[in-house]
Structure 1
């Protein structure tokens, strides 16, 4: 910046500022004086009694002609990075001081200051981006983020409903500033985050800032984050969702702010990339599913038109997107606790009858509940939640025929599963399968020994444990499993595994005659024989000592898309990197541990659509070992089922 330009700025200042500025300029040895000029104003502002004189000074300091020159400094090297940061930070501090200590500032003056401040948002975005200014420290970036949000908050406070503050140009720096403070390693970062959150989310109607631009600012700065900081950011978002939801104290809630927050949240949920997945996982762990369920149930009861319009396109889409994330069992349990079964009955009847998209989402919800019905913990929650809706007749709510049929199917399946739960609680034996894939022996729990390292894997003998550590690569994951074991409720997982074994025993005993006669048949994973089907299969994985649903995108049998989509999806899945899978991939074979068995009912010698699903564990590593595996199993498989098991079901990945 040329010194003569600073001289011109000084000459335009009030007399109280001109003399100290000229004195500062004489001592700067010909260097760029704009930074010194800013410092003089900032120090003078604390001592001035007539704060109104700061307004013309702030107008001059926010000279838009300075912005391009400061942009050129950002590519000029580390020294100029620091110089530009000093000027930008101090100017924002002065602006905040002027607006904070001058309560009688005229609206026109605030609008002029906001107009002059708008181009500075790009400067703050650049300073907060490590790729542009890598020389700035974490503490310096945090200072930039805090002073920017404070100055913007004061502008918003003094100039309510100013159109200039609705500019999309402000969304990106706000999001970048928010993430910078959330990911800062400074000791006061937590306190700053609370203040900035009040500035950003606490005043977040849809017409303030730009949610899409703000989310871009967040995503641009995700690379600097860590797990702990993302956890804080996720908890912050979930907490504000709960604050804005209508409740007894605030029947209408804060719907505009809630809608704006959903606009911000949507790109974070759908974004791709490892850092995005980490933030999405933290959002789920923070309780986003239950928060969205509560928001949906609260908003459909409000009379606000904005709430109804925002409910259908935003909340439902995000909610059902989250329900199919990893560890679906945990997500569904959380949703059941929040009362998701009541949601379809609380929405206006015309929504379900006329909106096919919404009706399909309810069908998806019902499918998710059924797929998690094999978990004892989920079934218990369903048994607690279902009586609340048992007396409600879906026909009175004018449901779509597909939705109505799916709901009745859910009730019949869950009633059957609750019979199994009663028998299980009455003392059915707890059975396990050896985690050594080459063995996979099934027996009572007392016949197995736990891995002494992770306490997650079970083996029928010491030799099986040694083989799995050497050849199954369990040793590589033992420490990781031990760390996860302390974070999760292992007893619940063990009970779920035993319950699934009870489900298999119960279903086989009940359908033994049908299995022997071939009415119940095994669904084989064979591209040539599979054909098109409309029933999604459910597969479970026991390879790491825990019960986890395979991602539904991998095993989607709808519209015949399963054969063509399976191979790339399996390669991209994080599940196939677990112990026991990797060597199968290298050898060109991927064997699924569980296959689905469905019942085909006959009416007038015609096969109708499948009515329900059972799960049969196949833990053998080789097709040649299946007969021995069947002999060791406690389930007396029939000849027809044995022939089906020996049919081709492996998938070549070449």
Structure 2
């Protein structure tokens, strides 16, 4: 039997040679195959005559999976046999209207993965022959059969194992990688039409949810598949074939996938080029701020990402944070501003009320101050707004020259996010600085001018017409008059942005729920060096959970 199969295979692939001594090298592996898998073959032949065509295809695939699992060296032998991949396509295609493929039978999925992902992948001719030329339904099947398995295994009750993740990844990516050159004009539009971009993102995102240790130790073969997926995304987006798929892909975790890939592998410049092209050109408003935050967070951490950002091949895209921010702001101008503030606190610090913005009255002069009543407006006017109102008008005009209202809204939203995410560190540093210098006017400085985010608490020094911080940054008097007169119920969050060789600042008042420092925070700070940084962070977060500061960005 082995000799007959080998003879038929050799004759089909090279009929000119015919039988002879050259066939013997091809017969030896098959003889060994039958010797190794006699038990599997005996079981298969017992039931094979009772099966219909579609059941036969599926049974053969399951048989191949069992053989490949027990004797991996034989999988390559089977896959290399001409016509075997066509059989795999037919087996997969025969189950198109059923849920057996990936929804309820993982073993069948593994068998298809083994065939499609082995060697150079499957060719377009094999797909056309196996699917009877119906590429649209083949694309639909490829996408449809991956979705349920990803969703079914995403729950904590049945976590997706690393082995299953790898094989799903190989099934989705390797199939299309093998078709990308010859079938791009035929298959890619059908794939995109049926949601391939989002599915590819979901597969890669599920794959990258593995523990970070596994990610770092990933074999080069598997990383090749991940990078192939990134290249496919770049190709699809560049040709504008993705359309509305891009938004859903971003929501499915595309940014996490791309940035995680960059962090784990900085050696492949082609891969990095695709990565940077996608991030720089295809962000949409719902993920603009998130992309900036992720980028800054990775650049801030002491990882290999800093090398990615300043890599020679990608220097034009990742020159500094200012350029990245400008790109996102340019995209943002096309859409409504995010982070819209719907509630405000009355600007009179003798009043602690917080109401919906529409229920407060606005100062008719500067349009930046809000009041809950006429009495509060008069009180704030006499407390210093008389001098600051005209200044606010001038400031609003200067801001319009530097950025649009939507850009300003985005920057405000970004600063608010950083203030809240650093709330524990802000609280500790604020207490330390206030204890050492109780008369100082404090501010929280978020410095983005150097391409990354740096945070520190600084205090202001009183001057003539201006105030100056520790590092020489100057502010106009009305800003700090308002803070100084608040009696500790207000502080400042300051954003410093780079602009070429210069930098400009944007400040946001932060309304404090109480001017008093919680005694629990004082106790933590008093312990000094007896606690590690992690212990301080943990205790501060515990205090803030019990006594939330209820700070409010107040613009």
Q: TM-score, normalised by structure 2?
A: 0.43
Q: TM-score, normalised by structure 1?
A: 0.37
